[in-house]
Structure 1
Amino acid sequence: MKQFRSVALAFLVVLSIPLRAQQQQQADPTTVGKLESLLYHIDRMYVDEVNKQELVDAAIVRILEELDPHSIYIPKEDLEEVNEPLKGNFEGVGIQFNIIRDTIYVVDAISGGPSERLGIRAGDRILTIDTENAAGVGFKNSDVMKRLRGKKGTKVTVTMGRRGEPAPLEFVITRDKIPIFSVDAGYMATPTVGYIKVSRFSATTMKEFREKMDELKAMGMQDLILDLQGNGGGYLRTAIDMADEFLGEKKLVVYTEGRTSPREDTYATKEGRFEKGKLVVLVDEGSASASEIVSGAIQDWDRGVIVGRRSFGKGLVQRPVMLPDGSAVRLTVSRYYTPSGRCIQKSYDHGVEAYRMEKGTRLANGELTSADSIHPQDTVKFYTMNKRVVFGGGGIMPDVFVPIDTSQSSAYFGQLVRKGVLNTFALNYVDEHRDELLKRYSSVEHFRNAFVVGDVMVSALEAYAMKEGIEPDPEGMERSGGLINIRLKALVARDLWNTAAYWQVINAENPVDRSFQRALEILGDNTFQRLGMTR
């Protein structure tokens, strides 16, 4: 028997229509009767008092562990939080925050939200929430969210500390519906090349995506880089709709099939926004499920070039099943297949720990750093429209491999990231120099081209890190200097402008992963012709 524990919800393809209790067929009375009988006898005879609900929950989890890594149980109290990223919105005050050394820092006031409208900004520190002290009291993320979220129209009073202000600032925030954006960035990388980064496939993704596509086309976009790196998936329907924007009418996008689910083919249905023009799709080991549906369809139809590293390898489709008490199960009901017939689900025969740690296994085996170390899990050959050989099982293999460069990694850099020192230092730096920076740099592009992380700033970072308990490490600083500088520069850009500014800086100068730079090169060389793509 395979032994599994619950895995993270990050990698999923979900059918958006849940199965309600009243739609469920009667289960086998013999098996259900055994469970009911056991619970009855435990309740009547067991030596100690037990919580029957906890027993039932544990039994459900254990049953699902015997199936696959992606069939999961979600308790009623967790369901709303789990579903929020895919719904595309929540009700609250509209801030993103980090808790660092018992201090709650505002990382971003969400554009158009109630906090931004009141002037709350990155770098502010939350001191009290409705007169309750929030600083230095050991709050966790859940404690903060519980106090800041609430029904639209209700109010919460928050006091903030802000650098340069002699006294705390009080804000009375009226809660509202807050969007959870899934298009993290969209900008013109060159006068003719657009770039869009999608972080998940939610209910609102296509609205965001189409708006960004129209905006970039109006700015002169002829070719597109679609970044799905780190995108763990989402709704199957959203993935299909995105692929439809690139593929001609009546082309197969994906099909699904399961033991009790007959094969269902889904085709492109209309003229998409970008059926012509060169397309590059970026993927990596964090691109899963819905991301693989899009990239698999693009690859099989030879519509674009897939660039990066082998994707996660999640080819299972879950359906929400609502249970009578308001809890839910996401149950695997089918596999999905790319147009050429590939199922890209990687093996989970060795248990969930090996499944979870497979990224580390790839790194240890050299697959993330060398193309020579990549070996398909399934050697059955499939063929794209242009008769190129592709493989199933274990993810989407890129057409152009881009290794990660680990030469600049160090224990010192790892500590700066894990302890939040880079984030906090950048917030403090922007707090102190915001007006000066905005006056000096008129745009993100100007900042990206002109701002330099100099020796004075690096020395200040090292001093701050030492205050935060990180011992000086000249060798680590020497090795990771370039990586630290670009990360710091990108964080400053984010705190001055937005998340899109972060990606503009990172993409242009990333020393670890050159996928974006390689995509730009491909759009200008003969790769499309070499692969038989004549767009």
Structure 2
Amino acid sequence: MIRAGRNPQSTPRGALALATCLALLSGAAGAQDTTPSKEQILESLQNGEQVELRLPDPEEQLPLEDLRKFTEVFSRIKDAYVEEVDDRTLLENAIKGMLSNLDPHSTYLAPKEFEQLEESTSGEFGGLGIEVGMEDGFVKVIAPIDDTPAQKAGVQAGDLIIKLGDQPVKGMSLEEAVKLMRGKPGTTLTLTIMREGESAPIEIDVVRDIIKVKSIKSRLIENGYGYVRITQFQAETGSEFVRALDDLKKDNKGKLDGVVIDLRNNPGGILQAAVEAADALLDEGLIVYTEGRIQSSRLRFSAKPGDHIAGTPIVVLINGGSASASEILAGALQDHHRAVVMGTQSFGKGSVQTVIPLDETHAIKMTTARYFTPDGRSIQAKGITPDIEVKPARLTEFDGKPFFTEADLSGHLENGDSEADGEPAEDGSDADASPVDRDYQLRSALNLLKGMKILDRGSQGQSN
């Protein structure tokens, strides 16, 4: 406590300086306090009254020495930098620096970046078609987006981009790198990439295009078995997912025997869309919750009654390109034992970003919370571990038919069936190749669903 009485030698100017200093100190504290205002201090001093002042908590107030250092650096740059820099540029760069050193996902959004963020969540924008982040100063590919120039050119999840055209990436901000990747449709950008398992950098030419992301793709991969691919979580993904399930049931002319939900290389997107997708498959219970320092960042999302496919077995496919909202959906279905999660470890982006407008054209995107699965598992930097690990593999089939069979023996007994003996079965070689024939992980998911169906049929037979 400091008690201040009237000093006969004090001038009003001296009192004003004292009051101003104290007001600045109290303002710097950033918390509620009972320090009198400048006007109250002046009035009390002039009336000869004692004024009781409470100094702000040193642990709460802003570091004034560091603030002085900031203004000193600002002034030095203004006066001595080789080229003239305006105040707005210096202040915006300071804001960018504050945010970029927090974590890879917090950033300052100038008008162009703000517009690009809105484009990416709406599902149409110009560029290469990759979701990226920063790692060790390089741009890391989280996932190539389906049916985009980057995916068609061979860019893979986990690739480290070390050069964009002729420009080294080291030292760039993520925003600067994204700006270089975007451009006029039809123009080519050469990506120099380091890839795990390769001893030398790879150069990939990618032709920029208008990126139109189709969020949901679905089809029957066999009679009774549906496949839903979610490429990205956009504003309408939840409702589109439900429609896709309805279409699969209609195409199958009845209840499905199993569904594969493919979240591989899905970089995430809108939280609410992932919650809606999980809600369509869960009858009750917590889907996801978030924890942060402020009350508005502490949220809980729970399922409403009603499973849209009535308990049909599900396999969820994930990999290192499955991030954020994808991990929320996979984690919720895994914790509720509603699906078998298959594939490889997911990306591990378990943080929540909030876009906070500063004015009509500027905003900051800041990490405000962490995601947790229903069982309380943090996704951040850990990801989702699959129930069954299945790594990608190249499928090479060979003729496994034996050299001869019983039917080839002279004088063999007839089968007794009405169908003609020895008539070769159709092998379907003329049919269009199914995606299952090219995708080892998808084939493994389908085989698991078939096995679950056989076991279920066997248990029903025993109970009868």
Q: Name the TM-score class by shorter chain.
A: 0.5 to 0.7
Alignment of 1:314 onto 2:242: no
Aligned to 1:285: 320
Deviating more after overlay: 230-239 vs 52-61? 52-61
Question: How far apart, in 2, do the equivalents of 1:141 and 1:331 lie?
Answer: 23
Partners of 2:265 and 2:320 within 8 A in 1: yes
Alignment of 1:518 onto 2:452: no
Aligned to 2:113: 78
Q: 2:436 aligns with which of 492, 503, 508?
A: 508
Question: How far apart, in 2, do the equivalents of 1:88 and 1:143 lie?
Answer: 18
Aligned to 1:144: 185
For structure 2, the 5+ residue unaligned runs are 1-29, 32-59, 130-146, 149-179, 188-209, 397-427
Partners of 1:285 and 1:312 within 8 A in 2: yes
CA distances 1:1-52 after superposition (whole Å, capped 9, x unpaired): xxxxxxxxxxxxxxxxxxxxxxxx9997767965873576247533441244
Aligned to 1:442: none
- Partner of 1:276: helix, strand, or coil? coil
Letter in 2 for 1:182: S
Partners of 2:242 and 2:277 within 8 A in 1: no
Aligned to 1:256: 290
Alignment of 1:188 onto 2:223: no
Question: How far apart, in 1, do the equivalents of 2:74 and 2:328 lie?
Answer: 46
Q: What is the correspondence of 1:389-408 to structure 2 with a 5 Å cutoff?
A: 394-405=382-393
- Partner of 2:264: helix, strand, or coil? coil
- Partner of 1:225: helix, strand, or coil? strand
CA distances 1:114-158 after superposition (whole Å, capped 9, x unpaired): xxxxxxxxxxxxxxxxxxxxxxxxx98512389xxxxxxxxxxxx
Q: Calculate percent identity across the aligned residue pairs.
A: 32
Q: What is the correspondence of 1:329-408 to structure 2 with a 5 Å cutoff?
A: 329-346=364-381, 394-405=382-393
Q: 1:43 to 1:182 in 2, by over 3 A?
A: same
Q: What is the correspondence of 1:96-495 to structure 2 with a 5 Å cutoff?
A: 142-144=183-185, 180-183=213-216, 185-220=217-252, 222=256, 223-249=258-284, 251-261=285-295, 263-324=298-359, 326-346=361-381, 394-405=382-393, 450=431
Compute the displacement of 1:269 (Å): 1.8
Deviating more after overlay: 218-227 vs 190-199? 218-227
Letter in 1 for 2:184: D
CA distances 1:398-425 after superposition (whole Å, capped 9, x unpaired): 11111123799xxxxxxxxxxxxxxxxx
Aligned to 2:204: none
Letter in 2 for 1:64: L
Question: How far apart, in 2, do the equivalents of 1:341 and 1:68 lie?
Answer: 23
Q: 1:312 to 1:449 in 2, by over 3 A?
A: farther
Q: 1:405 to 1:181 in 2, by over 3 A?
A: closer
- Partner of 1:247: helix, strand, or coil? coil
Q: 1:267 to 1:140 in 2, by over 3 A?
A: closer
Higher relative contact order structure (alpha carbons within 8 Å, sequence separation ≥ 6): 1
- Partner of 1:310: helix, strand, or coil? coil
Deviating more after overlay: 199-208 vs 224-233? 199-208
The root-mean-square deviation of aligned C-alpha atoms, in Å, is 4.0
Question: How far apart, in 2, do the equivalents of 1:300 and 1:207 lie?
Answer: 23
Q: 2:94 aligns with which of 37, 45, 59?
A: 59
- Partner of 1:326: helix, strand, or coil? coil
Compute the displacement of 1:526 (Å): 4.2
User: Where is the helix percentage greater, Structure 1 or Structure 2?
Assistant: 1
Q: 1:213 to 1:76 in 2, by over 3 A?
A: same
Partners of 1:255 and 1:336 within 8 A in 2: yes
**If the length of structure 1 is used for normalisation, what is the TM-score?**
0.49
Question: How far apart, in 2, do the equivalents of 1:345 and 1:254 lie?
Answer: 13
Q: 1:215 to 1:35 in 2, by over 3 A?
A: farther
- Partner of 1:525: helix, strand, or coil? helix
Question: How far apart, in 2, do the equivalents of 1:273 and 1:145 lie?
Answer: 43
CA distances 1:142-189 after superposition (whole Å, capped 9, x unpaired): 12389xxxxxxxxxxxxxxxxxxxxxxxxxxxxxx9974211x21001
Question: How far apart, in 1, do the equivalents of 2:384 and 2:316 lie?
Answer: 11
Compute the displacement of 1:238 (Å): 1.0
Question: How far apart, in 2, do the equivalents of 1:520 and 1:342 lie?
Answer: 28
Partners of 1:240 and 1:253 within 8 A in 2: yes
Aligned to 2:173: none
Question: How far apart, in 2, do the equivalents of 1:209 and 1:279 lie?
Answer: 14
Who wins on radius of gyration, i.e. which is larger?
A: 2
Question: How far apart, in 2, do the equivalents of 1:515 and 1:58 lie?
Answer: 46
- Partner of 2:184: helix, strand, or coil? helix
- Partner of 2:183: helix, strand, or coil? helix
**If the length of structure 2 is used for normalisation, what is the TM-score?**
0.55
Partners of 2:394 and 2:440 within 8 A in 1: no
CA distances 1:281-331 after superposition (whole Å, capped 9, x unpaired): 100111011111101010101001101011111111110122337233221
Q: 1:268 to 1:28 in 2, by over 3 A?
A: farther
Letter in 2 for 1:403: K
Aligned to 1:501: none
Partners of 2:226 and 2:260 within 8 A in 1: yes
Question: How far apart, in 1, do the equivalents of 2:117 and 2:69 lie?
Answer: 28
Aligned length: 296
Letter in 1 for 2:293: R
For structure 1, the 5+ residue unaligned runs are 1-24, 98-106, 109-138, 147-176, 347-393, 409-446, 452-503
Letter in 1 for 2:94: A
Partners of 1:87 and 1:204 within 8 A in 2: no
- Partner of 1:332: helix, strand, or coil? strand
Q: 1:269 to 1:179 in 2, by over 3 A?
A: farther
Q: 1:204 to 1:40 in 2, by over 3 A?
A: same
Q: 1:145 to 1:407 in 2, by over 3 A?
A: closer
Aligned to 1:386: none
Partners of 2:395 and 2:440 within 8 A in 1: no
